Amino acid sequence: MNKLKKLCFMTMHELRLLLRSKWLLNFTILFIAMAALFFFYGLKSIDSNPTEVKYGLESIGEIDTGTVDPSYFGLEELPNEDEQSAETNKSVGYNRAIAMLMNLSLWLIPIISLILGANSIIADKEDGRLALYKTYQMPYIYYLISKFIALCLSLIASLGIAYGSFGIIISIVGGEIETSFLLTFLILNILLVTTFSAMSLLIGAVSVTRMQGLSLALFIWSFFVFVYEFIVFTAIDWIPYTQKLKSILVFVLLNPIESIRVWSIEKLNANYIFGPEFLILEEWANNGILTNYILLTFIIMIIITFIVSNQLIKRKG
């Protein structure tokens, strides 16, 4: 019980340090700016969609005049029956904005989590706080857990402020967002924060200087975002045709960014973009297997990073 109280105290201390971080403040401002930009872009994308104009007489209907100007025949523009109402257009615009924010999160949240988490541990090494921690005779795992919880809470709070302001704007202007879009968006951000916050502990445990930690964070981020796809494309050519589908699904599960991307696409009922070969994803989604597989791989990744980070800090401590 005494150790649990110390863990809570350590977590609150780490949380206060992170909330005062200029990095976190700058990232919050960045997300607010991007949310506002995509909010207005989503609405403009609806206004810029071309609509088909039909001419004719209300008593007769549409009349085709070929290439001749319809005004020569006294025809008027007919109302477009398929045209959506203004409120529906707004709703579609908001959903598009959230879809763009999802792609933004898949790119930015991993690198932000890696940088903040790694710098937090490296700063303790440089300032001597980690050496002081040894005198308390507390397990290093408590130190890592406090860092992990504080980092997750601070990033989720930052995203809540940024995207919460986006939601307030929508509610003020009277717009509506599909529940599936909003729920998927929230879960996507939480999964990204927790997974890459755990990975940042490993970077912090390995790194000695801030520059080394930043380099490793950029390397891991670029590997999962860019390099990983080329590795999969190369490796899949060496796999027998009958095993290609299962192999691709395994490769997807090994990359948290791709796992979350596939999961969010399926939750938004857009899995048709994968093609008929991947109808198994829809079957897994209906049975809940896809979500279970993704959560299981994330839990395993987090546990592995905690174990390895704990051993590295012990050895270097």
Q: How confident is the model at residue 52 (pLDDT cuts 50, 70, 90)?
A: very low
| Residue ranges making up the domain that contains 280 | 2-51+86-316
Instruction: Tell whether 72 is covered by a domain.
Output: no
The number of folded domains in the chain is: 1
The Cα 110–Cα 218 span in angstroms is 10
> What is residue 48's predicted lDDT score, i.e. its pLDDT?
55
Do strands 61-62 and 76-78 pair parallel, antiparallel, or not at all (unpaired)?
unpaired
Is the pLDDT score of 282 beyond 80? Answer: no
- Using only C-alpha atoms, what is the Rg of the chain? 25
| Per-residue pLDDT at 203 | 95
Strongest mean pLDDT among 43-52, 69-78, 154-163, 291-300: 291-300
Please give the Cα distance from 110 to 301 (Å, whole number): 14
Does 67 reside within a domain?
Answer: no
> In this model, does residue 17 exceed pLDDT 70?
yes
Q: Model pTM greater than 0.75?
A: yes
Q: Is residue 60 part of a domain?
A: no
Phi, psi of 62 (to 5 degrees): -75, 140
Q: Do 144 and 313 contact (CB within 8 A), yes or no? A: yes
Residue 69 lies in a domain: no
Instruction: Determine, yes or no, domain membership for 99.
Output: yes
Give a yes or no: residue 61 inside a domain: no
| Rounded average pLDDT over 117-138 | 85
Of the pLDDT bands very low, low, confident and very high (cuts 50, 70, 90), residue 295 is very high
